[in-house]
């Protein structure tokens, strides 16, 4: 099994690139989905979040209102750090569990974990390879404005809560430039796919030789 961390910046195209890899046969683990799962009522992070931010952030059905929570934490760095301190360990546990399940199912799986804050959180040491999906910051703002309907100010705020994408470049083993048309990005993914299969094979060979 090859364990790949896919990252980028908000709106750079991680989900898009992850889908292209899935089409080639990769298993996907989406950290946003994991985060949702641990924040569900009864999930490992739910109670702590309610204790920290109060029941005002809940919907009528006891689920967390992510918009309300987002409004609180994206305006206050300390509060965002506190939330991350609750959610990240729970997500990490869920991630490890999911990888174990995949390994049982397919020992030669290529696993692509879509991890928005991979570098900020320092998860590089848990993956075999870091793939960065890159577009210039100005284009990130345009794409999230289109996707989420944000004002320029809202888009910039969210962008600035992350490490600038240009600083992430030096952490990447592979950079996928998603600044061009989608078809071009798909071709880049197809070009890298055989290399990932080879890396998986040689990793497994090393492991069995040990
Ligand atoms: P992320 O998962 O990194 O936040 P997405 O994959 O959701 O980013 O992409 C952000 C937005 O940009 C989406 O609306 C997506 O459809 C669009 N998008 C992604 N890649 C391209 C591209 N190469 N050209 C134009 N739009 C793109």
Q: What is the CATH number of the domain that holds 147?
A: 3.40.50.300
Helix (H, G, I), strand (E, B) or coil at 110: strand
Helix (H, G, I), strand (E, B) or coil at 100: helix
Residue 62 CB neighbours (<10 A): 12
So what's the pLDDT on residue 121?
87
Given the CA of residue 12, which atom of ligand 1 is nearest to it?
3
Question: Measuring from atom 9 of ligand 1, which residue has the nearest CA?
Answer: 13
Question: Measuring from atom 19 of ligand 1, which residue has the nearest CA?
Answer: 13
So what's the pLDDT on residue 210?
80
* 8 pocket-lining for ligand 1 (C-beta < 6 Å): yes
Given the CA of residue 146, which atom of ligand 1 is nearest to it?
14
Question: Measuring from atom 5 of ligand 1, which residue has the nearest CA?
Answer: 13
Question: Measuring from atom 12 of ligand 1, which residue has the nearest CA?
Answer: 143
Torsion angle of alpha carbons 155, 30, 128, 162, nearest 10°? 20
> The domain containing residue 45 runs over which residues?
2-209
So what's the pLDDT on residue 75?
85
Given the CA of residue 181, which atom of ligand 1 is nearest to it?
23
Comparing CA positions, the residue from 169, 195, 192 lying closest to residue 17 is 192
So what's the pLDDT on residue 21?
98
User: Any idea what DSSP says for residue 62?
Assistant: S
Overall number of domains in the chain:
1
Helices vs. strands in the chain: H and E counts, helices first: 10, 5
Comparing CA positions, the residue from 126, 130, 112, 132 lying closest to residue 27 is 112
Given the CA of residue 19, which atom of ligand 1 is nearest to it?
6
So what's the pLDDT on residue 60?
96
Question: Measuring from atom 22 of ligand 1, which residue has the nearest CA?
Answer: 182
Span from the CA of 5 to the centroid of ligand 1 (angstroms): 18
Can you say whether the dihedral through the CA atoms of 51, 57, 58, 64 is positive or negative?
Answer: negative
User: Any idea what DSSP says for residue 134?
Assistant: E
> Residue 123 in contact with residue 89, Cβ under 8 Å?
no
CA 163 to CA 166: how far, in whole Å? 8
So what's the pLDDT on residue 35?
92
Per-residue pLDDT in tens (0 to 9) along the chain, 210 residues? 999 999 999 999 999 999 999 999 999 999 999 999 999 999 999 999 999 999 999 999 999 999 999 999 988 989 989 998 999 999 999 999 999 999 999 999 999 999 998 999 899 999 999 999 999 999 999 999 999 999 999 999 989 988 999 999 999 999 999 999 999 999 999 999 999 999 999 999 999 998
> Residue 92 in contact with residue 59, Cβ under 8 Å?
no
């Amino acid at each position: 099994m090859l364990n790949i961390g896919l990252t980028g910046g908000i709106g750079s195209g991680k989900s898009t690139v992850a889908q292209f890899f899935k089409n080639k046969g990769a298993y996907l683990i989406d950290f946003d989905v994991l985060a949702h799962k641990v924040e569900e009522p009864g999930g490992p992070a739910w109670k702590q979040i309610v204790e920290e931010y109060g029941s005002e952030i809940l919907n009528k059905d006891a689920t967390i209102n992510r918009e309300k929570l987002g409004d609180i934490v994206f305006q206050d760095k300390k509060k965002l750090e506190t939330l991350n301190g609750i959610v990240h360990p729970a997500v990490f546990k869920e991630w490890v569990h999911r990888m174990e399940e995949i390994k049982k199912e397919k020992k030669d799986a290529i696993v692509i974990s879509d991890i928005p804050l991979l570098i900020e959180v320092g998860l590089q040491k848990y993956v075999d390879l870091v793939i960065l999906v890159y577009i210039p910051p100005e284009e990130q703002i345009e794409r999230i404005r289109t996707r989420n309907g944000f004002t320029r100010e809202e888009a910039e705020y969210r962008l600035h809560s992350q490490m600038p994408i240009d600083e992430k470049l030096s952490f990447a083993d592979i950079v996928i430039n998603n600044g061009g048309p989608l078809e071009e990005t798909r071709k880049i993914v197809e070009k890298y796919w055989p290399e990932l299969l080879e890396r998986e094979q040689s990793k497994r060979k090393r492991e069995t030789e040990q």
